[in-house]
Structure 1
Amino acid sequence: MRVPIRRSTKATRAKPGSQPWLHVNGMEIQEFGTVRLFPLGLSRDAREYSCQRLNQILADTQILYNLYKKHHWLMRGPTFYQLHLLLDKHAGEQLELVDKMAERIQTLGGVAVADPRHVAEITVIPRPPNGCEEVPAMLSRLVEAHETILVAAHDAAARAQEMGDDGTNDLLVSEVIRTGELQTWFLIEHLVDTPLVEGRKA
C-alpha cells in the first residue's frame, strides 16, 4: 500500500504583510445575464427569467431613486418644505427596494445590475432635463416612472408565480408593488388643483 506524501505548503505561500494589493486586474468570473447552479428547488429557466425581469425593474428603480433625489433637491415654491421631506422619504424607501431586488437576483444565482452606466443602458425610464422643471412637471415625471415600474412588476410577478418562483413573486407584490402604489398615491394628491381655503358665498 502506497503511503501519500505530505507536502509542506510553507514554500508556496507568500509572506504575509500589511501592504494592500493595488491596481489589481482580474477575470470576469460570471457574465451578466447568466445564473449559477444553486440548489433552490427552482428550475434554471425560472431563475433565469426572474433574474432578467428583476434586473430590468432594478435598473428602472435605481433611476427612480435618483429622480427622487434630484427633485428633492430642486423642489421650489410654497410646498417646498413638505415635498422636500416627502421626496426624500420616498427616495429612502426606493433605495431599500434596490437592495432587496439586487439581493434576490444574487440569491437566484444571477448578477445584479449595479454600475450606473450599465443601468443607463438598460432602463426604459425617459431621461429628464438636466435643469430644474416646474413642480407639477417633476411630480408628474415621478408618477409616470412609478407606473412604468408597476406595469412591469405586475407582469413579472404573475409570470414568476406561474414558474413556481414564490420568492420573487412575494418580493414584487409585497414590496415593489405595494410601495410603488402607496408612493404614487401621495404624489398624485399633490397634483390635484384645489384651493387651500374655499371662499364663503355671500
Structure 2
Amino acid sequence: HEIQPWGHLVRMPIALAESACKESVANLNQVLADTMTLRDLYKKHHWQVSGPTFYQLHLLFDKHYAEQSRVIDVIAERIQLLGGVSVAMAADVAETTLIPRPPKGREPVPIQISRLLHAHEIVLKEARTMARLAADRADDGTNDVLVSDVIRTNELQVWFVAEHVVDTPVVRAK
C-alpha cells in the first residue's frame, strides 16, 4: 500500500509554484539516478582496480564513492522537500540512468577512468542545464543543490581522476 504514488506531488507550503516543483522533481530524479549509478561505478572500480597505482586509486575511488553518497542524500531530500518521491531502488535507477552500464568483469585502469570521466560529464551536462531551468522558475533551493553540491563535487572529482591519465592517451570504453 503506497501512501504517495510515483509521479504524484504532495503540495508543500514552500512558496514555489506547483509547476516548478513538478519540473524540478523530474529533473532531480534524473540527476539522482545518474548520481547513484556514478557512485556505484566508483565502488565497482574501487573493488576491481589493479596495477601500479592500485593503492592510490583504491583509496580515491572509495573517497569519491562516499562523496557521491552525500550528494545522493542531498538530492533525494530536495525531491522529498518539493513534495515528490525520489527514485530509490536499483532496478528503477537502471531504467532511468543515462550512464552506460559497464561489463561485470574487471577492466584496465585507463578504461575505468574513461568510464568515470564520461559518467561525470553526463551528470555535469544535465546538472548545468537543470540549474538554469530551476533558476528561471525561481527554484533557488534546487538551483543551489545542483550548483553547490552536484556541479562542484563532480568538477572536483573530474580533476582528481583526470590527473591520473594526464600523460596517457585517452582510451574510450565501448
TM-score calculated relative to the size of structure 1: 0.82
Indicate which of 124, 132, 136 corresponds to 1:150.
Answer: 124
Per-residue deviation, 1:113: 0.3
Of the two structures, which has the highest relative contact order with CA contacts closer than 8 Å and spacing of 6 or more? 2
Per-residue deviation, 1:193: 2.0
Cα distance in structure 2, aligned partners of 1:75 and 1:193: 19
2:88 corresponding residue in structure 1 = 114
Mapping of 1:53-202 within 5 angstroms?
A: 53-193=27-167
Cα distance in structure 2, aligned partners of 1:192 and 1:178: 21
Q: What is the CA deviation profile of residues 136-162 of structure 1, one whole-angstrom value per residue up to 9, with x for unaligned ones?
A: 000110000000000000000000000
Cα distance in structure 2, aligned partners of 1:43 and 1:147: 30
Percent sequence identity is 57
Which residues of structure 1 form unaligned runs of 5+?
1-26, 195-202
Q: What is the CA deviation profile of residues 105-162 of structure 1, one whole-angstrom value per residue up to 9, with x for unaligned ones?
A: 0000000000111111111110001100010000110000000000000000000000
Cα distance in structure 2, aligned partners of 1:102 and 1:175: 12
1:11 corresponding residue in structure 2 = none
Q: What is the CA deviation profile of residues 36-87 of structure 1, one whole-angstrom value per residue up to 9, with x for unaligned ones?
A: 1111000000000000000000000000000000000111001000000001
Cα distance in structure 1, aligned partners of 2:45 and 2:103: 11
Indicate which of 40, 48, 52 corresponds to 2:22.
Answer: 48
Which residues of structure 2 form unaligned runs of 5+?
169-174
Q: Give the secondary structure class of the aligned counterpart of 2:3.
A: coil
Cα distance in structure 2, aligned partners of 1:170 and 1:37: 21
Cα distance in structure 2, aligned partners of 1:161 and 1:120: 28
Structure 1: 4+ residue segments shifted above 6 A: none
Per-residue deviation, 1:29: 2.0
TM-score calculated relative to the size of structure 2: 0.95
- RMSD over aligned CA atoms reads 0.8
- Which structure carries more helix by proportion? 2
